[in-house]
Structure 1
Amino acid sequence: MQFNNNGQAIYLQIVDYICEKILLGEYKAEDKIPSVRELAMQLEVNPNTVARAYELLRQQQLIFDKRGIGYFISDEAKSIALTYRKQEFSEKELPALFRIMFMLGMEPKDLSPAYENFKNKHAAA
């Protein structure tokens, strides 16, 4: 995982990373996820940063912990992640997209062919 330099805290980028894995089906309900130390080593970050991300994920009920065993994906994780990411997209990314479209004189219908092409490429993968 590459961390972006958009000013977002690393622990929030880790939350987004886990949410993405849930939404893409790489992590399913009841799956065990890497321990704090394992993920910290994989991502080359401080374990405290991963612990902070896991605590936020736990508070949002995306993951739960079994004492002494590890962290697991909750049954409702996909639904919660979808709601979280939609809200984040609507508040943070969509306004920038609309601004660019406005400057270029584009309408939402102009994006349809590119979106369909993207969907077809990724559905085949």
Structure 2
Amino acid sequence: MEFKDTQAIYLQIADYICEQVLLNKWPPEERIPSVRELAVALEVNPNTVMRTCELLQQQEIIQNKRGIGYFISPDAVKKIREYKKEAFINNELPSFFRNLYLLGITLDELKPHFEKFKKSKFNGHEN
């Protein structure tokens, strides 16, 4: 995983875990890789992964089953979508709309591009 300088690493790892859940690679109620396994796979300090797990636990996206590991919460998909929708609407959408306005792009013009994106990225073609 390549990390960006614009956001804390533990938050980028949280985004990665949430994406795995939304793509159903880590389904609800399934065990996720251990802190050490994730740290090795992502080439980060285990303390960074632990900080991520604490954050996701506070958001009720994962649950710690003592002595067994972390598991995806049964309603994790719903919680992730709510959290990410709010963040997208508040942080990214205003800039997106500004660009649409400045470039004279209508929402109707975007629809075929969005449909093409959905077909190419999320029908088994993305890793």
| TM-score interval, smaller chain | over 0.9
Matched residue pairs, number? 124
Aligned residue identity for 1:124: N
Distance 2:9 2:122 in 1: 30
Identity, % of aligned pairs? 52
Aligned to 1:83: 82
Aligned residue identity for 1:106: I
Query: Over residues 62-117 of structure 1, what are the superposed CA-to-partner deviations in whole Å (9 max), with x where a residue is unaligned?
Result: 11111111100010111101111111111222122112112211121110110111
Aligned residue identity for 2:32: I
Distance 1:9 1:110 in 2: 35
Structure 2: gaps of 5 or more residues: none
Asked if 1:106 is matched to 2:105, the reply is yes
Asked if 1:36 is matched to 2:40, the reply is no
SS of the residue aligned with 1:124? coil
Distance 1:58 1:124 in 2: 30
Distance 1:88 1:17 in 2: 16
After TM superposition, the score normalised by the length of structure 1 is 0.92
The 5-angstrom pairing of residues 1-125 of structure 1 reads 1-5=1-5, 7-125=6-124
Distance 2:72 2:123 in 1: 26
The CA deviation at 1:123 is 4.7
After TM superposition, the score normalised by the length of structure 2 is 0.91
Structure 1: gaps of 5 or more residues: none
Aligned residue identity for 2:55: L
Please report the RMSD computed on the Cα atoms of aligned residues, expressed in angstroms.
Answer: 1.2
Distance 1:10 1:95 in 2: 25
Distance 1:123 1:42 in 2: 23
